[in-house]
Structure 1
Amino acid sequence: MELVRDERGGVTVLRDGHPQSYVDTDDPLLLVFEYVQHLALVLESLRPDPAPLAVTHVGGAGMTLARWVHRTHPGSPQIVLEPDTALTELVRRELPLPRGHRIRVRPQTGQEGLPGLRDGSADVVVVDAYDEGRVPGALAGQAFARELARVLAPDGLLLVNAADLPGLRWVARLGATLRTALPHVGQLVLREVASGKRYGNVVLVASRRPVDDVTLTRAAARAPFPTRWRPSTEVAAAERGVRPFDEVGEPSPPPPDSGPLRLR
């Protein structure tokens, strides 16, 4: 792993040669990566009250979103499942967490850590875990989807950062898999990714109850990058007949070689 500092005072966390996080310890509200902005947009839209949220993160890296949650929802108890202890130690040493945080990092994978959490213990679960640039297959299977649903509170939100090639065939199967445990699965996605113009990230938002599509549509229209909210009904209709992954799942497609790291 590697930390790459820039002239703005921020740090990009690299793992397996792929950028995992961008952290500005002085300004945790600065979110550089598009998909992290999308994760935050969902929480800003659907959980605007600054009251604490119980958040479980599957995947930690620089803990950018956990820092953001601490700032926007002070006092939030957060659990981060991050198996890479060397990465966690590096981040803690070079990018210390803010004072007064309630962020607990456990050296476990999602498959190892979720079974130890109580039923309904999380208001929000965020899955943002990659291995060599790919979502591990174990995080895409029906067994893991059931475990995510078990940990989620009845009115909780599941946010999954996925990535796929043009056509989003793997994302479609992931969405179908999540629907086996949580019936409502929408997508927040860049328009150029949705239209099949390039490889990119998709944030899937899953829940037991319908979410506020109007608010998310308006928020997407105001996003810094051209963004679409695809409601659950639209996504389900488009993916009718798509086969879910089995119990174990399959890893996401490898990312194309993007050349030197560039941040917008």
Structure 2
Amino acid sequence: MDEPIPVTRTVDHGTAKLMPDVDRRRAWLLTVDGAPQSYVDLDAPDHLEFEYARRLGHVLDCVAEPGRPLGALHLGGGALTLPRYVAATRPGSRQDVVEADRALLALVAEHLPVPDGAGISVHGADARAWLESADADSADVLVADVFGGSRVPAHLTTEAYARAADRVLRPTGVYAANLADGAPFAFLRSQLATFSAVFEHLALIAEPAVLRGRRFGNTVLVASHEEFDTEALARRAAADVFPARVEHGAALRRFIGDAKPVGDEDAVPSPEPPGGSFGIG
């Protein structure tokens, strides 16, 4: 059998590389400009390699009873890791994926195609523009994993953006976002303040070392109008190889402190990560 060959291609927002995993026969790592973006095992789409992806997977597992199909909207496509996960764990789900880099979508479709009948529709568009034109009350869960390089774009950090996400979610829906920051957490605290202005319930999943300010890292913000099962989420996060905590309620309000919601006029991208912050999790 021929060995898989790495692929390098210029895409709309940089240089993308697909690199085979020597330990898993049909698994691939996608990077853009050297930053890891996605990991996909075509033989095991329920395998989530990156730590933050596993935590987003925990949220998806807790949104509804096991196996129940979902209406899911994914902002940020990459190699479609989480849409593949939902299709595998919740057959019959209807999913939309919005990715601004059309050349990246073409690369993924060519080399890592999604099986026919998976229920995944892919759209080449700006995440916020697509969100603002999407049908109201159309999604059970919205997953935001949008990075321009290694930073969340400024226009996806504001209260207007949070309200657009809320409009698309059903009343029982859940928003989950991959965010990255380090001490003193000005960006993360502002995002929590922004979403607390729109949603009644918030939770944050993060490694203790990140929360203590010892290193820069990924966190997962969870927001909803109905109370989320934080106990089930905490059990799953604590059982990971790299355990994480789930903060919510009074502890999270203390963490937010005096941070204010972000308006479009004062929005900035997430901070540039220090060199070497993101490896394979």
Q: TM-score range by the shorter chain?
A: over 0.9
SS at match of 1:148: helix
CA drift at 1:150: 0.5
2:275 is aligned to 257
Following TM superposition, the consecutive aligned residue runs of length 4 or more in structure 1 with deviations greater than 6 angstroms are: none
Identify the match of residue 16 of structure 1 among 23, 27, 33.
33
CA gap 1:262/1:138 in 2 versus in 1, 3 angstroms: closer
SS at match of 1:69: helix
Identify the match of residue 3 of structure 1 among 4, 11, 18.
18
Q: Which deviates further from its counterpart, 175-184 or 43-52?
A: 43-52
Identify the match of residue 170 of structure 1 among 187, 191, 215.
187
2:94 is aligned to 77
SS at match of 2:62: helix
Contact 2:139 2:170 in 1 (8 A): yes
CA distance in 2, matches of 1:218, 1:159: 18
1:140 is aligned to 157
CA gap 1:223/1:48 in 2 versus in 1, 3 angstroms: farther
- Residue 142 of structure 2 corresponds to residue 125 of structure 1: yes
CA distance in 2, matches of 1:71, 1:48: 15
Aligned length: 263
Q: Which deviates further from its counterpart, 203-212 or 227-236?
A: 227-236
CA drift at 1:49: 2.6
CA displacement, residues 102-140 of structure 1 (integer Å, 9 cap, x when unaligned): 111111111111122111100000000000200001000
1:104 is aligned to 121
Once the two structures are superposed, the pairs formed by residues 115-264 of structure 1 within 5 Å of their partners are: 115-248=132-265, 249-258=267-276, 262-264=279-281
Identify the match of residue 28 of structure 1 among 39, 45, 51.
45
SS at match of 2:177: strand
Contact 1:141 1:250 in 2 (8 A): no
CA drift at 1:182: 1.1
Q: Which deviates further from its counterpart, 244-253 or 118-127?
A: 244-253
SS at match of 1:65: helix
Contact 2:36 2:279 in 1 (8 A): no
RMSD: 1.5
SS at match of 2:19: strand
TM (norm. structure 1) is 0.95
TM (norm. structure 2) is 0.89
Q: Which deviates further from its counterpart, 124-133 or 14-23?
A: 14-23
SS at match of 1:196: coil
CA distance in 2, matches of 1:17, 1:220: 28
CA displacement, residues 197-251 of structure 1 (integer Å, 9 cap, x when unaligned): 1110000000012212222222222222121011143212321321221125221
Amino acid at match of 1:216: L
List gaps (5 residues or longer) in structure 2. Answer: 1-15
Identify the match of residue 69 of structure 2 among 49, 52, 58.
52
SS at match of 1:23: strand
- Residue 130 of structure 2 corresponds to residue 113 of structure 1: yes
CA distance in 2, matches of 1:206, 1:232: 12
- Residue 56 of structure 2 corresponds to residue 39 of structure 1: yes
Q: Which deviates further from its counterpart, 9-18 or 89-98?
A: 9-18
CA drift at 1:262: 4.5
Contact 1:187 1:232 in 2 (8 A): no
Amino acid at match of 2:19: V
- Residue 111 of structure 2 corresponds to residue 94 of structure 1: yes
